Amino acid sequence: MPVALVGTALVAVLALSGCTSGESAAATRDGTTGGTGSTAGTSTSQAPVTPAAKVTATSAADVSPAGPVTVAVTDGTLQAVTLTNGDGKAVKGALSADKTTWTVGEQLGYGKTYTWAGNAVGTDGKAVPVNGSFTTVKPKRTISASLNTGDGQTYGIAIPVAVTFNAPVKDHAAAQKALKVTTTPTTEGAWAWLDDQTVHWRPKDYYQPGTKVDVTVGIYGVDLGGGSYGRDNVTSSFTIGRSQVVKADTQTHRMLVFTNGVKTFDFPASMGLDSDPGRVTHSGTHVVMGKSATYAMSNPKYHYENVVVPWAVRVSNNGEFVHGYAGSVPDQGKRNVSHGCVNLSPTNAKLYYDTAMVGDPVEITGSTQQLGPADGDYYDWALTWAQWTAKSA
């Protein structure tokens, strides 16, 4: 009997031991392979995070009114955006196709306050406000600019693009970054500062006939240095006409005209008196600046005033013209007797006048004096390309 009791106790112990593996057994019945201590049935998954919208809007003092002025959102989309000026008037703007950016679409004013309003919705479905404000810079002064070329006009193959400011510009580099010339076909060219108020663009070589030129002086909102900002933007679109080049030699006393590479005229001429530095015609590439059917010539230093000449074509700002003058006809083709101009007979001057175009090059050679800065605005071609590019900011 005692033996039987012991055996029963052993069976009970074995049965209790078997109960400790019931969880694993259940897991096995559920198709898992883990045994005692297995974590297969205790792992958990995390729900994806849906972030809130993050809105960034221009919000500062002394903002350039030229922009960029924007609102942008990440992790969401813009639902509505308005920007109002100090009078409560809405500013024009545009929302990007993906509704993540809104950009001002009109010119803002100097010294103004603008206020944002609107909202964005994040990927979490919650609205986030668009708010805040900014002020635009208030300049000490504004500087305007003008161009020498007009819309829809046609010019000769040597025309420079001349930008003239109404006051000195201290920061040439900032101003030059706002200047743009686009040509079709592409034409190599460069800007050069002739002084603090004048910057020109000219091609490395003469333009190809028919070239289209677009100029933008985008200085509005640009800090030009010393507290000055650009007043207005200026643009111009023009065309280069046929090729016409004048070649005048003070030693041969002749003026030749080449149109589209063909010699069209060969005129006897009288140029500035060689023995007088104050009268000699300057050598170098001049540019036609304008023309008048009649022009009154005056030079107090040489004791003449309002001498009217026909068919006058201005080629520099130092008083040099190509014009008709009957009084020097006996000298034309033989000797130089003028006060710096290229004299032709009235008949020949009219022939040339009728073909001349602003921007045409007039190449004069043979004299003792060279064209330079003292001769006025259009001495651009008197400089080598290296000299020209050295004047760029």
Task: Output the six-digit token pair for 232.
Answer: 């207005």
Contact 173, 393 (CB under 8 A): yes
Beta bridge partners of residue 225, listed in sequence order: 228
Nearest to 93 by CA among 78, 77, 107, 105: 105
Please, is 191 exposed, middle or buried when counting C-beta atoms within 10 Å of its C-beta (0-12, 13-18, 19+)? buried
Contact 243, 261 (CB under 8 A): yes
Beta bridge partners of residue 192, listed in sequence order: 200
Q: Is position 339 annotated as part of the catalytic site?
A: no
Amino acid identity for residue 125 in this structure: G
Q: How far apart are CA 182 and CA 184, in angstroms?
A: 7
235 Cβ contact list (under 8 Å, min separation 6):
151, 214, 215, 216, 217
CA atoms within 13 A on the CB side of 354: 7
Q: Is position 323 annotated as part of the catalytic site?
A: yes
**Cα angle 270-272-274, degrees, rounded to a multiple of 5:** 110
Q: 330-335 — which CB contacts under 8 Å span 24+ positions?
A: 331/270, 332/253, 332/267, 332/268, 332/269, 332/270, 333/253, 333/254, 333/268, 333/269, 333/270, 334/253, 334/268, 334/270, 335/253, 335/270
Active-site position among 200, 282, 323, 339: 323
Contact 268, 254 (CB under 8 A): yes
The residues carrying an active-site annotation are 323, 341
